Amino acid sequence: MRLKSAFAVLSVAALVAATGTAAQEDKRPTGETYEQILARLGDGMRENLIIRGEHDSRTEARKHKRFYTDLQPLADLPPYRPAKQLEGRIRVSGLYLHDGLIKDQWIEAFQRFHPQVKVEIVPKGTIASGAVDIETGPRISDRLRAASQYELATGERLFEIDWATGSYNVPGWSPGFVIFVHEDNPIAHLSLDQLDGIFGGSRTGGWKGTTWDPGVARGSDRNIRTWGQLGLKGEWADKPIAIYGRPLKYNIQLGFERKVFKGGDVWSETTREYSHEANADGSRYSSSVEMVRDLSGDRYGISFSDMGSNRPGVRAVPIGWTAKGPFVPISMQSLRDRSYPLFIEQWAQVRLAPGKTLDPLVKEFLTFMLSRDGQDAVQRDGKWITLPARRAAEMRTKLEAAGERVDPHALGLHLKQIAPAKWDGESPDEAKRTDPAKAYYRSQFDLSGLPAYQPGQAFAGTIRMPASGQLMEGTAGQALMAAFRRIHPAARFELKDGDLINHKVDLSIGRKWSTYFAGEFYDFQLKHDRSPREFQVATGSLDVTGWSPALAVYVGSNNPLKGLTIRQLDGIFGGPRRGGWVSTTWRRQAGRTAAENIRFWRELGVKGSCANQPISVIVPPLKYHIMSVFERKALVGGNIWNDSAHEMPLVLNRDGSRRSPESDRVSAVARRRCAITFADSGVAVPGTRMVPIARDGTGPFVLPTLTSVQDRTYPLHLEAYAYADAEPGRQIEPGVREFLRFVLSREGQAIIAGDGKWLPLTAAVATAERAKLDIVVPQVTAK
């Protein structure tokens, strides 16, 4: 189900309060925390209804329109000739494939050759779930979390081909990237390496699929930050390049990273992000249109967008694959022959078991897609562009390949570090140091202030929950269920891994659902037109790896730094930003300016040998899940990082055993006396120390201890969450609600404490979370 395009009218005053409005550019930064913005402006459900509703309306208006009517000769493509008649059923997914004109043409043409085959083209469905045989749409390998989860579940590499080129200027149909500059800018052309230098930052490697490739590293010496570095003279020579872009977690950014950064994910911290937003009048603020409009008023700006956003005052720059050229302007022809480097492909992904060849029917349909018959339907649809003959031949050859097995020793492909399951903790136990059955903490916490459990109506029925994850690996899960059954003897629990989004379970307990890039929270909203119900059920551990240990900040032991505030952490690790992701919505209230950057130790009052040295920032690769956690905790949901940050991926020992990535980063700090990193609070490396952290400038500075993490005076604690569903206007299902009341009671939190890994909630947090159980959320509506 899509978010609807027509909704009940919402008053303008209410909408302004709900959205913060896109027009409030000058009100940032507010200095609010992530939690304060979330509490004031909400989780983004209403904004997403507006944005997605208008998107769907525009797509609806385009889907049956032929934008390009000049039919090209396709004689260099082979006609489709089946080797033999097949029978069966094949299911293909793809929203734009389903909504366009191509769907009926493909079905009719293929079934003419294979009358015993039923072809179904559906708007949604993944190969990972087994719902479809061929999945089309955004390239899965660009979306590292989705690719990692797929490979973790199957043990096989993704098999993918591209079968068309995106459009020239049709929004939604993958228009090619265009590099725009102001019309007065004298730059003649740019190469891909120059684009890398302009838009990217230094990097220690990049992603080749789900594998970290250190071979694409580059240093800051290749950064291009002024127009003079590109050879411009006179007034242009010393002018900084102002970058106009989009939030770095949009799919479009990921494609740009692959094409221009060779899979790197560090962007110039001067990138000015433009997001789709909700205006006060209920209309959508379109990122690409507004971005190029603003660029037209900035002589020293540059952006990548698409020809559909072209306007007076800007011009498109010809691009070359190399510095030697040729430098090619974007056009229908340069996209057809792919001489223009920044085309966008249309991808098809299928399951292919290691050592096996493609299923005959799947192979036959892919062959048809790559044939003259299949491509003729592409051009008659009038939006996408046909595949060049040479590329089609390469893809047909690829169809003969056997499936590849995931290499567990591939550098960087350690999947839970990138994409932990929803019912796991925020930071996985990569080095396998934790015994799930062991109670690491035996402290007696004072739980007398927590509400005692008073049973409501007796519950008889079944509650479905995931069978794996930290709750079930330790002792807490079984103990909570057993205690609940003693009070409600007719209650039953069914344990089987599944997804709340698809209603395979009733309750999911584990890490916080990532709210935009990972997509769990947003996907739920997209599917159900409502938000999932979220509850904190425990505090993360102090230092038990895998059980959401508190984040700690490490410097060299000789560094005299007395402490850091959260905003100072933002200034060190983050970059200036136009906004950030607070839940599923881009909020400009999360923005900040370059004035808050902290790049030298002297800016923190540090004296001595490091005072005038740059702060050497060491972090995990930016695509690792833990980075989205740090973004929420310290960067107010922003995803612009210090563009000189040094990424250190998880690596293996020589014997193939796993190293501790946290220890590796802290050890690097010990070697570099003016460095800083964050890691689990349980890391102990000689020559380093943890830095006390304060919520704000009023203090106090606090070190992570069992007490300060449990009572949450230490700001970088983590949490464990429960997710449930409820229809608008209705409470959560009685059994789930009653079980969560027990978990959030004094008795339930005593069981959490007795497990000895996660820590019990404070009385204030438990009371607030229990109160949320009684809230009935109305239907969210928008104009």
The two domains 87-171+344-398 and 178-329 share their CATH topology (first three levels equal): yes
Domain 87-171+344-398 has CATH 3.90.330.10: no
Q: What are the two backbone dihedrals, phi and then psi, of residue 199, each rounded to the nearest 5 degrees? A: -90, -25
Q: What is the average pLDDT across 648-655?
A: 80
Give the residue, 176 or 11, on which the prediction is more confident: 176
Give the residue, 67 or 6, on which the prediction is more confident: 67
Are 458 and 769 in contact by the 8 Å Cβ rule? The answer is: no
Nearest to 680 by CA among 571, 757, 765: 757
Q: What are the two backbone dihedrals, phi and then psi, of residue 216, each rounded to the nearest 5 degrees? A: -105, 15
Confidence class for position 782, pLDDT limits 50, 70, 90? confident
Residue 424 tokens, joined: 């796991």
pLDDT at 9 over 70: no
Q: What is the average pLDDT across 363-370?
A: 98
Q: So what's the architecture of 551-703 in CATH?
A: 3-Layer(aba) Sandwich (3.40)
pLDDT at 341 over 70: yes
- This prediction has a pTM of 0.92
Query: Can you say how many angstroms the Cα of residue 396 is from the centroid of all Cα atoms in its chain?
Result: 32
* pLDDT at residue 411, as a whole number: 61
Least trusted range by pLDDT, from 2-11, 455-464, 488-497: 2-11
Antiparallel, parallel or unpaired: β 190-191 and 206-208: unpaired
Are 68 and 386 in contact by the 8 Å Cβ rule? The answer is: no
Confidence class for position 351, pLDDT limits 50, 70, 90? very high
* pLDDT at residue 146, as a whole number: 83
CA distance 169 to 151: 34
Provide the mean pLDDT of the chain.
Answer: 91
Domain chopping of the chain, boundaries: 87-171+344-398, 178-329, 418-545+717-772, 551-703
Write the pLDDT tens digit of every residue in 186-238. 999 999 999 999 999 999 999 988 888 999 999 999 999 999 999 999 999 99
Are 263 and 206 in contact by the 8 Å Cβ rule? The answer is: yes
Q: Which residues pair with 314 in a beta bridge?
A: 182
pLDDT at 21 over 60: no
Give the residue, 389 or 15, on which the prediction is more confident: 389
pLDDT at 349 over 90: yes
* pLDDT at residue 30, as a whole number: 64
pLDDT at 17 over 80: no
Give the residue, 139 or 605, on which the prediction is more confident: 605
Give the residue, 150 or 77, on which the prediction is more confident: 77
pLDDT at 582 over 50: yes
Write the pLDDT tens digit of every residue in 277-332. 887 777 777 788 899 999 999 999 999 999 999 999 999 999 999 999 999 999 99
Superfamily of domain covering 178-329? Periplasmic binding protein-like II (3.40.190.10)
Nearest to 84 by CA among 109, 113, 61: 113
CA distance 535 to 15: 26
Question: 270-282: buried (b, 16+ CB within 10 Å) or exposed (e) per residue?
Answer: bbbbbbbbbbbeb
DSSP string, 273-323: E---EE-TTS-EE-HHHHHHHHHTT-TTEEEEE-GGG--TTEEEPPEESST
Write the pLDDT tens digit of every residue in 372-431. 999 999 999 999 999 999 999 999 999 999 999 988 777 655 557 777 888 988 888 877
Least trusted range by pLDDT, from 19-23, 28-32, 532-536, 635-639: 19-23
Cα distances (angstroms) measured from residue 159 to each of 134, 346, 356, 395, 398: 10, 14, 12, 11, 9
Write the pLDDT tens digit of every residue in 482-519. 999 999 999 999 999 999 999 999 999 999 998 776 58
* pLDDT at residue 783, as a whole number: 64
For residue 722, which amino acid is it? A
Nearest to 705 by CA among 723, 689, 681, 728: 681
Query: Can you say how many angstroms the Cα of residue 707 is from the centroid of all Cα atoms in its chain?
Result: 33
Residue 530 tokens, joined: 């409502």
Are 182 and 293 in contact by the 8 Å Cβ rule? The answer is: no
Cα distances (angstroms) measured from residue 271 to each of 243, 346, 446, 590: 5, 27, 48, 15
Confidence class for position 457, pLDDT limits 50, 70, 90? confident
pLDDT at 14 over 80: no
Q: What is the average pLDDT across 43-70?
A: 89
Are 599 and 615 in contact by the 8 Å Cβ rule? The answer is: yes
Confidence class for position 20, pLDDT limits 50, 70, 90? very low
Question: 623-641: buried (b, 16+ CB within 10 Å) or exposed (e) per residue?
Answer: bbbbbbbbbbbbbbbbbbb
DSSP string, 47-101: HHHHHHHHHHHHHHHHTT--S---PPP-TTSPPP--SS--EEEEEEE-HHHHHSS
CA distance 25 to 578: 9
Least trusted range by pLDDT, from 301-305, 417-421, 660-664, 682-686: 417-421
| Signed CA dihedral, 182, 183, 186, 189: sign only | positive
Longest C-alpha distance within the chain, in Å?
A: 83
Domain 418-545+717-772 has CATH 3.40.190.10: yes
Q: Which residues pair with 207 in a beta bridge?
A: 212
Q: What is the average pLDDT across 559-587?
A: 95
State what percent of residues in the chain have pLDDT above 70: 95
Query: Can you say how many angstroms the Cα of residue 427 is from the centroid of all Cα atoms in its chain?
Result: 16
Q: What are the two backbone dihedrals, phi and then psi, of residue 254, each rounded to the nearest 5 degrees? A: -65, -40
Alpha helices, DSSP H only, in 314-387?
332-336, 360-369, 372-381
* pLDDT at residue 415, as a whole number: 59
For residue 513, which amino acid is it? W
Write the pLDDT tens digit of every residue in 715-730. 999 999 999 999 999 9
Q: What is the average pLDDT across 236-242?
A: 97
